[in-house]
Copies of this chain bind each other. A is one copy, B any other.
Amino acid sequence: MSEAVWLVLAARGFGGLTLRAVAAQMGVSTGLLTHYFPDKRSLIRHAVDVAERRAQQRTRHSSEQEGLPALRSALLDVLPLTPESGAMSRVWVGYWDGALADEDLGMNQQRRYARWRAALREHIAAARRDGEVGDTDPDDLAAISAAFAHGLVVQALFDPGRFPPVRQTELLDQFLHGLAASGARPFRSTPT
């Protein structure tokens, strides 16, 4: 059942996730599925679990590294660099719409972001101890890194021709270079 839910998600996103579509994917009746998913929300919750488990399985090499290389690996993990990770990205970007419209799902997504930033922050704190980045607040750099990665995901999904894997990786390295170069004095423009 989880496999069927994932296949529907990957093909149609959360917007196209219906009991009927999952039943068709499994070759069973919609009525049978209502025993497992009495309403749309329970189906979405299950789908979020499935997508989260898939995302965790994808987390690859961060454990053997630390500092900037670990940060780089963690950000590479969320970029749509392969067909499989592209499908995963597509699912999560599509999820934002529904999650913003639903308080429970929105809180769930808020916690996922907080956990992800905390993981990125560890790598940044290690990078700072080793002098790989300047004396900048690791919380700031974690939020900035998460922002950069997700914003690149969206651009790459809409324009895979202009953002092939090699280009995404170049942009990530360019971004990390700026992070490494940034010190304690933030840029301030004149007040507007």
Chain A positions near chain B (C-beta within 8 angstroms): 12-16, 61, 68-69, 72-73, 76, 90, 93-94, 96-101, 106, 109-110, 113-114, 136-137, 140-141, 143-144, 146-152, 154-155, 157-159, 162-163, 170-171, 173-183, 185-190, 192
Q: Cβ of A186: which chain B residues have Cβ within 8 Å of it?
A: 170, 173-174, 176-177
* A147-B155 in contact (CB<8A): yes
Known contacts A152-B147, A177-B182, A181-B181, A97 near B157 by CB under 8 Å? no
Determine chain A's interface SS by DSSP, over half rule.
helix
In the bound complex, do residue B151 and residue A146 qualify as a contact, i.e. CB atoms below 8 Å apart? yes
- Chain B residues with CB under 8 Å of A61's CB are 192
B152 touches A143 (CB 8 A): yes
